[in-house]
Structure 1
Amino acid sequence: MDEDRTGQDSRPPRTQKRPRKVSPRYLENAALHYLKRYASTVSQLRRVLVRRVDRSVKEHGGDRAEALGWIDALVQKLMRNGLINDDAYAGMKAQSLRASGRSSRVIMQKLRLKGVDAELVQRKLALATAEVSDEAAARIWARKKRLGPFRRDPTTREENRQRDLAALARAGFPFGIAKKVIDGALD
């Protein structure tokens, strides 16, 4: 960092880059670049592209409705070509979140926030739960956060019991499962 003797940053403040004027070609390139970097749902990609359109219309003017039509056509094209697939995204995300110890509630919420259909979320969550149960996910989470039987100092386990139960409850696990994990043995 460039600092002068007073400790202040001597660089000029960054200016916001001017958005480019949108066109069907520009939107397609932006979408492909985004999809190269991130796994995405139809809804998430649409939000990204609409933000670009809104910035461009604000800066350059133009017909927002026409640009939104370009986005709809582009999304349909990307779906036909298999570049965005909510079904595959939901399955991958549900399994990875479950394997990392996330509760059904958290997985459902994350997928719904990404714009995945509720029925699809239920199906993919059922498949992920068949592989890793709620109790197994709670044990994974407790191990990662060093709760209950996974505490470094086992002598503090009883005095932190309520805190550990609350941590599992905040992570979205039902009380019965949280109690079973926190009061359970290390293995």
Structure 2
Amino acid sequence: MPTEERLTRAALHYLERYPSSSANLRKVLERRVMKSCRFHERDPEEFSGLIDATLDKCIRAGLVNDTTYAETKAFAMKRRGASSRKIQAYLTSKGVDRGTIETVLQSDDQDELSSAFIYARRRRLGPFRKSADRTERRDKDMAALCRAGFSFELARQVVDSSQETLEERGLIFNDTS
């Protein structure tokens, strides 16, 4: 049977392992209550006040902060070469409101082109591919960049970039052909 103490322990246990937005933590707690209610044959709506109280307690304690969560996730994703579209979709799926997402993305100093180059380097696309394969795989490389959320123009610019462009940007170029 869900109690406020049990829900608080469940929330703390979850937050010890994963960073979370308030909406995502609410979903976690709702699933836990739903599971318990199915077992005890109770109505989950009876416990919505407990979920709200537990979530409020976590927010007041500073364990859950949507802005900090969004900044942390956006920074980590940008460092790995994620596009702004992908970051926005991810944060939206975790329940972060649109205003917070826009603020976080605008405060980021890394431009979209740098993220596209990082993504291409990680996936060995375009200029990071062996030169023998580069021309025949051009369209597939551009498609991979577009699927990752980058615009067509940005994908073309990255895939068609030269070794000099990479050196100007400070990116490592290993031609293993």
TM-score (norm 1): 0.85
Task: Name the structure 2 match of 1:146.
Answer: 124
Instruction: Output the CA distance in 2 between the equivalents of 1:179 and 1:63.
Output: 55
Q: CA deviation at 1:63?
A: 4.4
How do 1:31-180 and structure 2 match up within 5 A? 31-128=11-108, 131-151=109-129, 153-180=130-157
Instruction: Output the CA distance in 1 between the equivalents of 2:159 and 2:44.
Output: 54
Runs of 4+ in 1 over 3 A off after TM superposition: none
Residue 75 of structure 1: SS of its match in structure 2? helix
Q: CA deviation at 1:185?
A: 1.6
Task: Name the structure 1 match of 2:162.
Answer: 185
- The higher relative CO (CA closer than 8 Å, separation ≥ 6) is in 2
Query: CA offsets, 1:132-168, max 9 Å, x none?
Result: 11000000000000001000x2121111111111110
Task: Quote the RMSD (CA, aligned, Å).
Answer: 1.0
- Residues 4 and 53 of structure 2 are in contact (CA less than 8 Å); yes or no, is this contact kept in structure 1? no
Unpaired segments ≥5 residues, structure 2: 167-177
Report the structure, 1 or 2, having the larger helix content: 2
Instruction: Output the CA distance in 2 between the equivalents of 1:127 and 1:146.
Output: 29
Q: CA deviation at 1:62?
A: 3.2
2:112 is matched by which residue type in structure 1?
A: D
1:102 is matched by which residue type in structure 2?
A: A
Instruction: Output the CA distance in 2 between the equivalents of 1:159 and 1:65.
Output: 58
2:121 is matched by which residue type in structure 1?
A: R
Task: Name the structure 2 match of 1:22.
Answer: 2
Instruction: Output the CA distance in 1 between the equivalents of 2:144 and 2:76.
Output: 21
Residue 116 of structure 1: SS of its match in structure 2? coil
Instruction: Output the CA distance in 1 between the equivalents of 2:92 and 2:44.
Output: 27
Instruction: Output the CA distance in 1 between the equivalents of 2:77 and 2:58.
Output: 26
Residue 22 of structure 1: SS of its match in structure 2? coil
Instruction: Output the CA distance in 2 between the equivalents of 1:64 and 1:51.
Output: 10
Q: Which protein shows a greater Rg?
A: 1
Unpaired segments ≥5 residues, structure 1: 1-20
Q: How many residues align?
A: 164
